[in-house]
């Protein structure tokens, strides 16, 4: 036979369990009691090719994404996957900078003598390249200036057996406003994203998009 104290204890336990369950349901399902949002603990970085033939397949794989904790200077590096994405775990209280390094990308080349012709016309003043992103792409040797040396570098790359290394991609935040659109390499700020995790509610990751410009592809095609 149960003593009254055992029965009482069992009743309290049942009430407690029901109470906790009710509380969970109320906080999760009842719109009048929304779940308290917490800071994100992830950041998703996307590398996209604005000149991709198929906009639905515009992810740039194997791009080297660098995430820096600006409080501790701890650095984390990931390569983007086949969809052009890299997902980092972050400290929800941390501050960060994220960027994508200049480098070769193992995608089919989009350079030909047509690109050489466009650079030639630009250099001799027949038809200027007036899109900042394409001026950046034309700076094949990455010295912040589009010149005859880039034309020679592009010709060398087209003729080379393994041209990827000679045609690095450059990545810029998608919303960048170029300081000087006709000289887009110079004077820019905001070449990376800086953010506080606390400004982005979880559980979704904070998302940052970079556009990649294929070295030498001044035709965009
Ligand atoms: Ca091209
Ligand atoms: Ca150059």
Mean pLDDT by 10 residues, the chain (221 residues): 62 59 51 68 97 94 98 97 98 97 93 96 96 94 93 93 88 92 83 96 96 95 89
Contact 139, 166 (CB under 8 A): no
Distance CA 188, CA 176 (A): 9
Residue 52 shares a structural domain with residue 97: yes
pTM: 0.81
Beta bridge partners of 66: 77, 99
The end-to-end CA distance of the chain, in Å, is: 86
Nearest ligand, measured from the Cα of 145: 2
Q: 107: closest CA among 44, 167, 46?
A: 167
| 3-state SS class at 37 | coil
Task: Give the per-residue pLDDT at 20.
Answer: 53
CA angle 137, 157, 100 (to 5 degrees): 40
Domain containing residue 54: CATH number:
2.60.40.10
Number of domains in the chain: 2
Task: Give the per-residue pLDDT at 36.
Answer: 53
Cα(79) to centroid of ligand 1, in Å? 25
Instruction: Find where tokens 């250099």 sit.
Output: 123
Contact 29, 82 (CB under 8 A): no
Cα(152) to centroid of ligand 2, in Å? 10
Contact 129, 138 (CB under 8 A): yes
Cα(77) to centroid of ligand 2, in Å? 27
19 domain-assigned? yes
Contact 170, 64 (CB under 8 A): no
Residue 50 shares a structural domain with residue 31: no
Residue 9 shares a structural domain with residue 100: no
């Amino acid at each position: 036979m149960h003593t009254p104290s055992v029965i009482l204890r069992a009743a309290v336990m049942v009430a407690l369990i029901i109470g906790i369950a009710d509380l969970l349901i109320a906080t999760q399902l009842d719109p009048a009691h929304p779940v308290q949002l917490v800071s994100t603990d992830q950041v998703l970085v996307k590398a996209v090719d604005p000149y991709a033939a198929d906009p639905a397949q515009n992810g740039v794989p194997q791009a080297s994404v660098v995430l820096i904790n600006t409080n501790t200077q701890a650095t984390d590096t990931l390569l983007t996957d086949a969809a052009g994405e890299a997902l980092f775990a972050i400290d929800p209280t941390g501050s960060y900078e994220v960027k994508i390094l200049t480098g070769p990308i193992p995608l089919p080349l989009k350079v030909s003598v047509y690109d050489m012709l466009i650079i030639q016309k630009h250099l001799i003043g027949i038809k200027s390249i007036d899109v900042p992103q394409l001026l950046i792409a034309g700076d094949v040797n990455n010295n912040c200036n589009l010149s005859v040396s880039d034309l020679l570098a592009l010709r060398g790359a087209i003729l080379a057996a393994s041209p990827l290394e000679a045609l690095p991609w450059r990545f810029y935040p998608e919303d960048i406003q170029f300081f000087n659109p006709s000289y887009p390499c110079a004077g820019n700020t905001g070449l990376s994203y800086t953010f506080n995790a606390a400004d982005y509610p979880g559980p979704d990751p904070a998302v940052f998009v970079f556009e990649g410009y294929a070295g030498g592809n001044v035709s965009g095609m």
